[in-house]
Structure 1
Amino acid sequence: MKRSLFLTGILVSVTACASGSKPPPTPKLPYPAWYVSLVAPRHMEVWVESVDVLDQRGLAFYRVHGGVASYTGTVKGWPTEGGGGKPINNVDLPKTIYLRWQSLVEPQAYKVLIDIPQWVRDEMVKPQQVFCAWDQKIVTLYSRTISLGMAPGGIAKVWVGAGCIKDKEVGRYQAEVEPLGPYRGASKGKYVPLEPENKAYIDQHRIPYGSW
């Protein structure tokens, strides 16, 4: 209940808004939308304030994603495979991603600007024939998911992949501390409340800095 009341009071709706007065043309991609997945090591709870995208056309889209990051299967280290994600509609392939989040176990607010290399965009539109275990057949898929991993200390990890296609690491990044604090000062220094089970884990085991 405490978390619900806090979020109701502070959360700005997560919507996309393109720069400029005219609606942008529909991107010419081989699929309706690409995806963004938000992940964090188990118990290292993260609240994402905003994911903003500058696409390859030079158009800016704000708050295309946000909220709770999904947990990986381990506390230390990163998985080799990402999870599901949110579809990013009517946005061309990403050129730059601006990520702002709260690391609730510290707590600390971070921000990072991530330049997406051209090889990633090439990968996202390249059809790949892969064998899917759940389909038991060879299918044609695209690496259309960008996974954003966030860990204490301002560590960000990025992968590209999708479903039966093995993820490829894009890079590891060191974020900056947001000097204005959570929500850029709008919450007057108040962070999203940490879930009790995660607080109990941190109290007992501490934060494994350096493992990500």
Structure 2
Amino acid sequence: MNSFFRIAAIALLLSGCTSANSGSLPYDAWRLGFFAPDYMEVWIETADVIDMQDNVYRRAMSGTAEALTPANNTGNSKGWPAKIGWGKGKYVKNADLPKQIYVRWQSLVEPQTYKMTIDIPESTREIMRKKEKVFCAFDGKVITDYREALVIGLAPGGIAKVWVMGPCLPAIEVTRVKAEIDPRGPYEGQSGGKYDPPSDAPKAYVEKFGIPYGSW
């Protein structure tokens, strides 16, 4: 049993999973989002969260991560984008700020299944609590903004990078993690090792250009 689930099991015994509160949040909820480099299609089996009160939020996010697939192979999958977006995700409601995030996902273009536990340091939570004055083009005025979104990029080879950002505040990189291969394969071994095939555009891109390992 990995460290995430040891903590989760204790939290479940103590709190009955869970009647949470917003704790140290200066806003109603924080957002968890995921994206992948161009064409590097990802399916997230689960993203589970433990917050600062040791409350457990299973499947806080699941499904496809955002990945652009420009027509005619005109995109570029090498490296991370210069401007990070919010990715595809959800707000984690009634939760305190995150302490750990466990993610199990399928990299469909390889194909391979990965798992990891991301430890969120206090320095990251301090950034998420800090309010800043910023000119917001959307509002056309100076506003008070928070970096309330935690965004995770998932790439082939099990590489993950984490940023925090706000609606009008730029992303700040906070950590990089190398996941491990899940030997059970997709869906915790329930599919007999069979992966869903990648979509047509990712498949065509990888057949022509390959996977740029080492660029993330």
TM above 0.5, yes or no, is: yes
RMSD: 1.6
| Unaligned stretches of 5+ residues in structure 2 | 1-10, 69-74
- Does residue 40 of structure 1 match 2:36? yes
1:132 maps to which of 131, 136, 143 = 136
1:62 counterpart SS class: strand
Contact 1:82 1:159 in 2 (8 A): no
| Offset from partner CA, 1:41-97 (integer Å, 9 cap, x none) | 010000011101111112222111011111257411112322253111111100111
1:26 maps to which of 21, 31, 34 = 21
- Does residue 77 of structure 1 match 2:79? yes
Flag as ranges the 4+ runs of structure 1 deviating above 3 A. Answer: none
| Offset from partner CA, 1:119-170 (integer Å, 9 cap, x none) | 1111111111111122221111111111010000110010011221111101
Counterpart of 2:85 in structure 1: which amino acid?
Answer: G
Contact 1:37 1:82 in 2 (8 A): no
The share of aligned pairs that are identical, in percent, is 50
2:108 maps to which of 104, 111, 132 = 104
Matches within 5 A, 1:129-208: 129-208=133-212
Determine the C-alpha separation between the residues in 1 that align with 2:94 and 2:138: 30
Counterpart of 1:195 in structure 2: which amino acid?
Answer: S
Who is 1:89 aligned against?
93
Paired positions, count: 195
TM-score where L is the length of structure 1: 0.87
